[in-house]
Amino acid sequence: MRVGIFDSGIGGLTVLNCLIESYPNNEYIYFGDTLNLPYGTKSLEQLREYADKIINFLISKRVDIIVIACGTISSNLYEEIKEKYSIPIIDVLTPTVKYIKENNLNNVGVFATPMTIKSGALNSVVNNSISCPLFVPLIESGKINTKECDEAVIDYLKRLGDCEYIILGCTHYPVLEKVINKHSNSKLINMGQCVSNYINISNEGKLKVTLYFSLLSDELLKNISTIIKTPYEIKQQVLSN
């Protein structure tokens, strides 16, 4: 099976990792829109334009299913997108909400992008939510193990308050798991893991991973190598109008 996955940058690679772990015998085609990141501060019109271009690109690669590995697109456009396209499309929030409800989890907080928080998509299962606009730029610029990153994590945890569980409501945020765990005893919910438990795909074939990014840089290549351990091919692909 050919599985398409997309996000604004490297964050969706955390979802890709979970899918490869659960379904190691498929072909995965990933698109990271690094030219336009971060998505969490963009307008709805901009997000719609980006999502349409990427989905059409993945369809041109003959994928059988698409995973929106982006909390911002998932929370703001998923219902619209799944009605627009005939190909099966899965978001990251629906499996996460299902997991929380099925396991009767309480005292749940969420770290997410400004647009995801604004959408209210997780309001039915969370007690508190905090917008974390600093996280994606820190991750994409390779500043995970820095004082600046620690200070941002401590500040957001303080503002979130005591929670037994914290949803990492942007797929970039699992990259910060070790940093968050260093400053918090809350149990972290990885949306990629929720997706891999939820999705229903075959597991027959040979593993192949192709990563497309709309803008490549040395820093990006370095960051990708710290997340994806599976062999992959990487290409730059700017999507035209």
Q: How far is CA 111 from CA 83, 127, 220, 233, in A?
A: 28, 12, 23, 31
Strands 89-90 and 65-68: parallel
Answer yes or no: 70 catalytic: yes
Q: How far is CA 59 from CA 6, 70, 86, 138, in A?
A: 12, 18, 10, 31
Q: Which residue out of 132, 149, 170, 194 is catalytically annotated?
A: 170
Q: Which residue out of 70, 132, 149, 194 is catalytically annotated?
A: 70
Answer yes or no: 132 catalytic: no
The number of CA neighbours under 13 Å toward the Cβ of 214 is 20
**By 3-state DSSP, what share of the chain in percent is helix, strand and coil, each rounded to 5?**
45, 20, 35
**How many CB atoms lie under 10 A from the CB of residue 98?**
14
Q: Which two tokens stand for residue 153?
A: 């994590």
The answer to whether 214 and 32 have CB atoms below 8 angstroms apart is: yes
Of the candidates 235, 168, 174, 196, the residue with the CA atom closest to the CA atom of residue 65: 196
SS3 67: strand
Q: How far is CA 222 from the centre of its chain?
A: 19
The answer to whether the Cα torsion of 195, 201, 205, 210 is positive or negative is: negative
> Known catalytic residues?
70, 170
